[in-house]
Structure formats: structure tokens, C-alpha cells
Amino acid sequence: MDSKIISGFDLSGKITALTKDKNSFVISDSNVAITYGSLFSDAAHYIIPAGEGSKNLEYYGKAARAMLEAGCNRSSTVIAVGGGVVGDLAGFTAATYMRGVRWINVPTTLLAQVDSSVGGKTAVDLGDYKNILGAFHMPAEVLISTHFLYTLPEREWICGVGEIVKTAFLSKKVHSLLDGSLDNLLERDDAVVSECVKECIAYKREVVSRDFYESGPRKALNLGHTVGHALEKVDNHKLSHGEYVLMGLRAEAFILRDQLPSGRYEEINAWAERCRVTVPDFDPESVAKACMKDKKNGGGRISVMLADYENTREVRLTYEEMVRGLMLWKLSL
């Protein structure tokens, strides 16, 4: 169970050919449509407002309705052209429209290319809680066209860097690549960007091949996401997802610092700080309460990941332990 990955600097010709197919239906967002709308102007399509606020049941319903009105059937192919929000919503729409249709992912952001486009996770948010309604539905193809990356605003770039830094503490190979070249990645060095995209995809594909439904090794990919998602909720999504992941990495490493290998917390903290992400003011109890709603939890405890490369493992914390850990982390900032 895997997607066909097609990568290159500029795959515009192939993307346009796919969208012109009479069985195709494109889902994209308002930002992508302004810059790259010519890629799918001749196709049946639905455009959502850009941003996390559109990844919900309202726009999922509107996308499905647009497909129905366009005459889409079980032979149709949904093509997602956009970042993580577009991929999540389009993939979930494809997974559920007429009980499931084929889909293709064309990720246009760094975060989507190195992480969310690979692995078949699709979802929409339920109110302020992220990815509560979803499905595992692997795209038939993922087209990685790196030319999209050079029009990204700085915040979207840092968003993707956050997921790459996370991966570096799961994969020794990615860590070795990024160690000494993090600044080059932040400066969008072509060679470093290409290698990071390639290695992050390779790492995630290998993990997903062993655990598609996230019952074991795939849980490691949630590193930094429990506290990251909670901060994202209580901060009302003011920053990008990857920025909150960087905060979550720092917070979870701080809380579990006595269980980490020597120097690991300091390294995680230093790398995250180099990404120039400022932690907003937060109430530890509010963040801990949001953590309690995380879908990865079990037994009334909060699931967090202990960062140790290929030996990364799950740790379960009580609500009280999370509150105390967040309070101490906040004082340390």
C-alpha cells in the first residue's frame, strides 16, 4: 500500500495534463489559485479560502456538493493542489465521496512536500480540535514539484522547516543532513532543500510501509504534535502548524528531559530557537486540557513521544504531570 511518488523541479506540464482529464476534479485554495490557477483553469474545481479555518465540515460539505454538481462519480479522480490543509480536506473528500474515489496529491508547500502529502492521512477539524474526523486513504500519486516552494512566504517556509527539524530527531540520516546545514535550509539553499525533501519522504514512506494505520512505529511521527496541536488550539491558529510543532518539540523535550539521552533536550531547544519562532503567552492548564482531547491518548493519559531517533517511544502523562511540566517550561523560557 503506497503512493507513486513523482518528483522534479517543475512538473507543471504533467499537472496540467492531469487536471484536463475529464474525470478530474481539482480542490485548491485561494492563495494557490492566484499564483497557479492556470494549472487547473480548464478543470472542474472548487476553491476553499486559504488557511486552517477552512479545514472543517462546512467546506468538506461544499467540496462534496461541488463534485456532485460537476457530475463526479466513482470513476472520478480528486486532485489536491495546495498545502497541508488542501491535502487533508481533498483527501478526506475523496475517501468519503460515494464511499471512496481515487485521488492525487500535488503539494505546493514545504510542509506538505516533506510530510503531510505522504502516508494517506486525511482529515478535517471538529471545531477547534484538529483532525478529529478523518480516514486513511492513500493517494494514487504524489507529484513533488519543488518550483512551488520558491514563492512561499517566510512563515510558510518556517512551517515546513518545523516538520523537517522534527524528522531530524526521528531519523539519524536526516539529522546528519541537517546538522551543520540548518541555516542553509532556512536560507532556502537549493541543494539542501532538495536533499531534505528527498530524505524526509524516504523516511516517512519507510515508516508508513510498516504501520499504515498508526498502531505502532508510525506513532513516532507525532513527535512534538501533542503539545503543538494544543498550543495551536489555545492560540487560535495565529501562527503556522510547523511553528507550533517546533514549540511542541521544545515543550515535550523539556517535560521528558530526564528520560532523554544526555544533551538531547539542549540540542532540540537550540535547533528550534534558530528557527526564530517565539512562543506566545499561554495558560498551562488550558494547554493541558487541550492535550486531554488529543486523539492519540489512551487510558485517561496524554500521549507524548520521547525523541530518540529510531528508538523514539510513547510516554503517557497524567493531566497533573502535563500541567506541572508546562508550568516549569513556561518559567524556563
User: Is-catalytic flag, 214?
Assistant: yes
Per annotation, catalytic residue among 45, 130, 218, 233: 218
Contact between 132 and 115 (Cβ < 8 Å):
no
Per annotation, catalytic residue among 225, 233, 250, 264: 225
229's CB contacts (< 8 A; 6+ apart) are: 130, 244, 248, 290, 294
CA distance 261 to 164: 21
CA distance 95 to 118: 15
User: Is-catalytic flag, 237?
Assistant: no
User: Is-catalytic flag, 175?
Assistant: no
Contact between 329 and 251 (Cβ < 8 Å):
yes
Residue ranges of E strands in the chain: 4-8, 24-29, 44-48, 77-82, 102-107, 121-126, 129-136, 141-145, 302-306, 313-317
Helix axes 319-332, 241-255, angle to 10 degrees: 100
CA distance 30 to 51: 9
CA distance 122 to 103: 11
Per annotation, catalytic residue among 31, 105, 199, 214: 214
Per annotation, catalytic residue among 166, 229, 250, 264: 229
Per annotation, catalytic residue among 163, 199, 243, 252: 163
Cα-trace Rg, the chain: 19
User: Is-catalytic flag, 225?
Assistant: yes
Per annotation, catalytic residue among 222, 233, 243, 252: 222
User: Is-catalytic flag, 45?
Assistant: no
DSSP 6: E
* Residue 153, Cβ density class (10 Å: 0-12 exposed, 13-18 middle, ≥19 buried): exposed
User: Is-catalytic flag, 121?
Assistant: yes
Among candidates 277, 258, 235, which has minimal Cα distance to 317?
258
Per annotation, catalytic residue among 55, 130, 166, 204: 204
> Among positive and negative, which fits the CA dihedral 42, 10, 197, 35?
negative
User: Is-catalytic flag, 99?
Assistant: yes
3-state secondary structure of 238: coil
| Cα–Cα separations (whole angstroms), residue 288 to 131, 230, 301, 315 | 18, 7, 11, 15
Per annotation, catalytic residue among 45, 241, 250, 264: 241
Q: Which residues are catalytic?
A: 99, 121, 163, 204, 214, 218, 222, 225, 229, 241
